[in-house]
């Protein structure tokens, strides 16, 4: 592929990293994985080739969380596709997630990851988080 679609995945659990990477690669995407919000922000700031962000919400105690990574990505590009993954923070999505993002609740099927990324990449005006 001449112009690969590169998705940044921010996840601190190696098992979930592996499942998500495999699903996205089988879906035709290139994947860059990092396990911390701090590293994700550094990479997003240095490299402009990412086309979407898939981030876990909880990335470790006293560390930058996925909500912050999503906001950082949107500051650089207000239309940047952001997908959050969480096992226990779904209720915070409306107040902390960026507008037009999607949320995957763990556990999820690998096909849901590909569908979410594809939906945001193909959508000119993705759905906003629900209002409280």
How would residue 126 be classed by pLDDT, with cut points 50, 70 and 90? very low
- For the cut 60, the answer to whether the pLDDT of residue 128 exceeds it is no
Other beta carbons within 10 angstroms of residue 35's beta carbon come to: 18
124 pLDDT above the threshold of 60 = no
Assign 125 a pLDDT band (cuts: 50, 70, 90): very low
pLDDT score at 48: 77
Banded model confidence at residue 10, pLDDT cuts 50, 70, 90: very high
Confidence of residue 36 (pLDDT cuts 50, 70, 90): very high
pLDDT of residue 130: 46
The answer to whether 84 and 44 have CB atoms below 8 angstroms apart is: no
Please give the share of the chain, as a percent, with pLDDT higher than 90: 83
Please compute the mean of the pLDDT values over residues 30-56 and round it to a whole number. Answer: 94
Q: What pLDDT score was predicted for residue 62?
A: 86
């Amino acid at each position: 592929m001449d112009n690969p679609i590169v998705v940044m995945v921010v996840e601190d659990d190696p098992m979930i990293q592996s499942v998500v990477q495999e699903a996205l690669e089988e879906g035709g995407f290139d994947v860059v994985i990092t396990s911390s919000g701090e590293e994700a922000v550094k990479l997003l700031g240095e490299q402009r080739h990412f086309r979407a962000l898939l981030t876990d919400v909880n990335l470790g105690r006293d560390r930058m969380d996925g909500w912050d990574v999503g906001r950082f990505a949107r500051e650089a590009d207000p239309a940047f596709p952001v997908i959050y993954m969480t096992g226990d923070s779904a209720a915070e999505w409306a107040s902390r997630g960026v507008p037009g993002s999607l949320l995957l609740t763990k556990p999820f099927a690998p096909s849901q990851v590909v569908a979410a990324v594809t939906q945001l990449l193909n959508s000119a005006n993705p759905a906003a988080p629900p209002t409280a």
